[in-house]
Amino acid sequence: MYKKKSLFVVFEGIEGSGKSYQSKKLYNSLIKRKLPTLLTREPGGTPSAEKIRKVILDDYFYPKSKEKFDKNTDTLLYLASRNEHVLNKIKPAIKKKNIVICDRFIDSTIAYQIFGKGVNKNLVNSVHKFILSNLKPDLTFVLKVSIKKALKRLKKRKKKNRYDKFSKNFYVKAQNAFLKIAKKNPRKYYIIDNSDNNKDVEKKIFKIVYSMIKK
């Protein structure tokens, strides 16, 4: 029997890993069972955070531009977006004891900005200390994928943004970072291979989440 309580679930992985697809599938499965569930994403998730997302993306839509965001500026914009998102959407939903499903969260910043771009981790950690307080995901799914398969999926996308245009080496580095993070805390992380378009992945994810809801 379901006892109303909050649950914060995050999906992480590189582009083409299927995290957005799987987060939507989980959301639909929980809504069908009439469980109070919120699906959101980062960067973005609220009107103000989406505005910041647009600024971040626009910087990459003009490759001939002479001036580009410095990596620290880029990172601070992500963190500003997260602050708006956490303050106005995630924390209120958790307070109402809703289930929150988020497509990307802090591990993406660690994998992409710290490991991928070499941003100093002290910058990220110090800002997170103020904007997150004690907020942490209860459960994180890291979707692992063969890089070859991920790149094939990205090629099929009609609408692309900056995330879909990184080099193969960058994706390898980012995925290794996600896996490293997950292996440090196996109690709250599940690494799932999503290289094949397999219905079993969807079922496995739902089973894990539903078992936590019923506890």
Domain count, the chain: 1
Our separate counts of H helices and E strands in the chain read: 9, 5
Q: Tell me the pLDDT of the chain averaged across its residues.
A: 90
Tokens 């805390």 belong to which residue? 185
Domain membership of residue 32 (yes or no) is: yes
Asked whether residue 122 carries a pLDDT value surpassing 80, the answer given is yes
Residue 1 falls inside a structural domain:
no
Structural domain contains residue 96? yes
Question: Is residue 2, in this structure, part of any structural domain at all?
Answer: no
Q: What is the pLDDT of residues 42-80, one digit of tens each?
A: 999 999 999 999 888 876 655 566 667 899 999 999 999
Q: What is the CATH number of the domain that holds 72?
A: 3.40.50.300
Phi, psi angle pair for 133, to nearest 5°: 55, -115
* Six-digit token string for 104: 């990307």
Query: For the segment 164-202, what is each residue's pLDDT rounded down to a tens digit?
Result: 566 788 889 999 999 999 999 999 999 999 998 778 999
For 193, the domain range is: 7-213
Note the pTM of the prediction, 2 decimals: 0.91
pLDDT above 70: residue 30: yes
